[in-house]
Amino acid sequence: MKHLVGKTITEKIPFMGEEVEVKKLSVGEVLKIQRLTKEYNKKKGEDASLSLLRDVIKMSVIGASELTDADFNTFPLEELNKVSNAILKFSGVNEQGQSEGN
């Protein structure tokens, strides 16, 4: 198994009538999302939700780390939610931010 450490698994998912490539999140990245979710839940509000969406997408969508907050503001919210949910499902995380085994 050691030779598989750091291996990236990707798949293409639909986004705004096209496809984007996402990488499966590692255990460390899933744990980071869970911590961020708890932090953002304390803050509440729309800005916290959008920040979490941006963080999840930047971690997984190939090329998204280069996007600015202003860039994200040009996308429809429903499309961002769909891609975020697809990322979490692909990575074995349910919508509450818990891994499927928990």
What tokens does 13 get? 């998912």
pTM of the model: 0.82
What tokens does 49 get? 């939700």
* Segments making up each domain of the chain, as ranges: 13-90
CB 19 within 8 A of CB 33: no
List pLDDT tens digits, range 34-87: 998 888 888 877 788 889 899 999 999 999 999 999 999 999 999 999 999 999
Residue indicated by tokens 């291996």: 7
Tell me the CA distances in angstroms from 27 to 30, 44, 50, 92, 94, one per residue in order.
5, 25, 23, 10, 14
